[in-house]
Chain A
Amino acid sequence: MSNLLAFLLAYAGMTVLSLSMRRHYQTACPHGSGFMLKYQRPARIIGLLFLLLALQLSIVHHDAGTGSVMWFGHLTIAALTIAIMHSYRPLWLGHFFHRLILVGLLLIISLFNLVWM
């Protein structure tokens, strides 16, 4: 489960990072308020923070060696998923439900981990 959580964190981080880029933001949120672009720098820091959280979780759950190897894998596959979504389903990425599902999943799995670990 914590592997999944680490992946979701990487995925969330990549989502935020991609939406902080003008071109991707505009195709994903054509009617957006431009919030992400206005606060581009904080958005990017939060995105990176998510990625670091994924690293931390991976290392805690495995050891430093295996954990960091897995982290690179998470980053690769998360970024690839986001890139494919930006090309095929950009509106999904900008959609409110995408955020809702993502946050929901993160919460559920975190709780699951807290209870079972």
Chain B
Amino acid sequence: MKATFRQSMAWLHTWAGLILGWVLYFMFVTGTAGYLDTEIDRWMQPELPVASEAKNDDRRAIQLGLSWLNKQAPDAQRWFISLPQDRNSPYLRALWSDADGETGDDQLDIASGNPLNARDSAGGQLLYQMHWQLHYLPRVFTNWFITIVTMFMFIAIVTGIIIHKNIFKDFFTFRRGKGQRSWLDTHNLMSVLSLPFQLMITYSGLIFVMFIVMPLLIAAFYGGDNGRDRFFEDIFPDSVQIDKAEQPAALVNVNQLIASAESHWGKNNIGYVDINYPGNAHARITFGGKNSQSPLRNSPKLIFDGVSGDLLHEIPARSSAARATRDVFLGLHEGLFAGPFLRVLYLLSGLMGTLMIASGLILWTSKRRQRLTKNRPASAKGVALVERLNIGTIIGLPIAIAAYFWANRLLPLDFINRAEWEAHVMFIVWSVMFLHAAFRPFQKAWIEQSGMAALVFLLLPVLNALTTDRHLAQSLPAGDWVFVGFDLSMLALGLFFAGLMFKLTKQQSAKVDVLASRKPVQV
């Protein structure tokens, strides 16, 4: 044990932060990108028209969706029509799934009802999902692993607050050009200033997984056998499953239900229509309200009998206080309610979290490298390993994500499993970056990877111009803000990495000068 409370907390902070720091960095980078998931989706499918967020006619949109599903999958178990509303769902989408587990997902043209054809791409959704599902790993493992990682994050934040001696005195303090001191200042500044966001995002992250990691809590009140099912029925009454009936029955005229929904919520306020067992005697039709405009994640629901058209349940957006608390935390985490301005604030806070983790990881090695020169050569290997992992993660991951975008533009359109290969390219490039970091001298590896990152990000808008006609010269005058924003962000990232490269190069040559000017030691 360490001598004082603060010292033992410092120890905990250091090691909890280090051991899972690289995974946390991955989660923060991909999660931050997730705040722009649908924008990335749209960039990765440049064939799609510019989504107009003008008011659409719900009635017409639902009819278009239904007639498409009727043509496409008349025997499906479930139909789902998602209406175009805002950045979260920019297009009319029709989804279905049948008893054999087959599914379909088409985006439809709101004018003609014909499917919008676009390249096969995993899009921003995959990046976003990676921040809790990782990739290539079995779901049960990742659920638990991510929970542990998030718990470590929470511990790191709380211990970080405890060991920070001058939270208020150093609130605005950033001493630059002072080596390790500057890294500590960066680490403190990023974490203290964005502390509300970091606490919220980590705590709510834990709430996402609470039913997985605390099953005994449910068992204590609902019993072990099928207690879990009864618990979910109580808490989520809208998700109760019904069984399919033997006899078929015609689906009720949806217009009549739309009218009922409009009388509850007003005109054009429907977010989605979910139809279970269309054409069956037990058909159920659920209408969901538009995306919530506040942190409370839920939208109200109306559940109708799909044959008679009777209103069976009316579920308000806010039910019990406990459920509402959970929904608010989840809503805060996802930030779906955020308009453009708040979205930028979310993005910046996410970036600050990313920088907080990166600077923490760098701090670990820079502290130990100093000590190494004095004594204890045995731990040199450990420090070297951490340094190499740092390079491969901190700079290597952004390069890999850029490669994901490159793959989206360069893989042939008829490539088999194209969407999967976009992700494969990302992870292949990332592995190469780790290899590069493993075999190059540290200083050179940092500089070369920064240069590489600058190159791949700066050239992305060029690649976009060569492979599509939605480049800056076209998107700017047309007001195609998703493409303008994406290209400019890539340029900004490229410039950032270029700046980093020049700074590191200058630092290194300064060091070499100092070494060269020293007199050789007489033995």
Measured CB to CB, the residues of A under 8 A from B are 3, 14, 17-18, 21, 23-24, 63, 65-66, 69-70, 72-77, 79-80, 82-84, 86-88
Contact = CB atoms under 8 A, between A and B. Distances in A.
A63 B341 CA distance: 15
B414 to A, nearest CB: 44
B172 A83 contact: yes
Contact of A80 (B173, B189, B196, B293): B189
A65 B197 contact: no
Contact of B346 (A21, A73, A80): A73
B174 A86 contact: yes
B328 A83 contact: no
Given A66-B295, A70-B342, A77-B345, A21 B172 contact: yes
B194 interface: yes
A27 B194 CA distance: 25
Contacts of A70: 341-342, 345
B342 A69 contact: yes
Contacts of A79: 171-172, 193
A76 B349 contact: yes
A115 B296 CA distance: 32
A73 B194 CA distance: 8
Contacts of A77: 345, 348
B342 A83 contact: no
Contacts of B189: 80, 83
A86 B295 CA distance: 34
B444 to A, nearest CB: 29
B352 interface: yes
B173 to A, nearest CB: 7
8 tightest CB-CB pairs across the interface, nearest first? A73-B345, A87-B174, A72-B196, A83-B172, A65-B295, A18-B172, A3-B341, A65-B294
B323 interface: no
10 contacts: A14-B172, A18-B171, A66-B295, A69-B338, A70-B342, A72-B197, A73-B197, A73-B345, A77-B345, A87-B174
B427 interface: no
Interface in B139-185: 169, 171-176
Contact of A84 (B174, B295, B346): B174
B11 interface: no
Interface of B: 169, 171-176, 189, 193-194, 196-197, 293-296, 328, 332, 337-338, 341-342, 345-346, 348-349, 352
Given A66-B295, A66-B337, A69-B295, A76 B172 contact: no
Contacts of A66: 293-295, 337-338, 342
A101 B133 CA distance: 48
A39 B345 CA distance: 33
Given A66-B294, A70-B341, A76 B197 contact: yes
Given A66-B338, A73-B345, 13 more contacts: A63-B294, A65-B294, A66-B293, A66-B337, A69-B338, A70-B345, A73-B348, A76-B349, A77-B345, A80-B189, A83-B171, A86-B174, A87-B176
Most buried by A among B172, B176, B338: B172
A16 to B, nearest CB: 12
Contacts of A73: 197, 342, 345-346, 348-349
Contacts of A88: 176
Contacts of B332: 69
B342 A65 contact: no
Nearest to A79: B193
Nearest to B296: A65
B196 A76 contact: yes
Most buried by B among A66, A72, A73: A73
B169 to A, nearest CB: 8
Given A66-B337, A76-B345, A77-B345, A83 B173 contact: yes
Most buried by B among A3, A14, A69: A69
Nearest to A24: B172
A86 B171 CA distance: 11
Nearest to A80: B193
Contacts of B194: 76, 80
Contacts of A82: 172
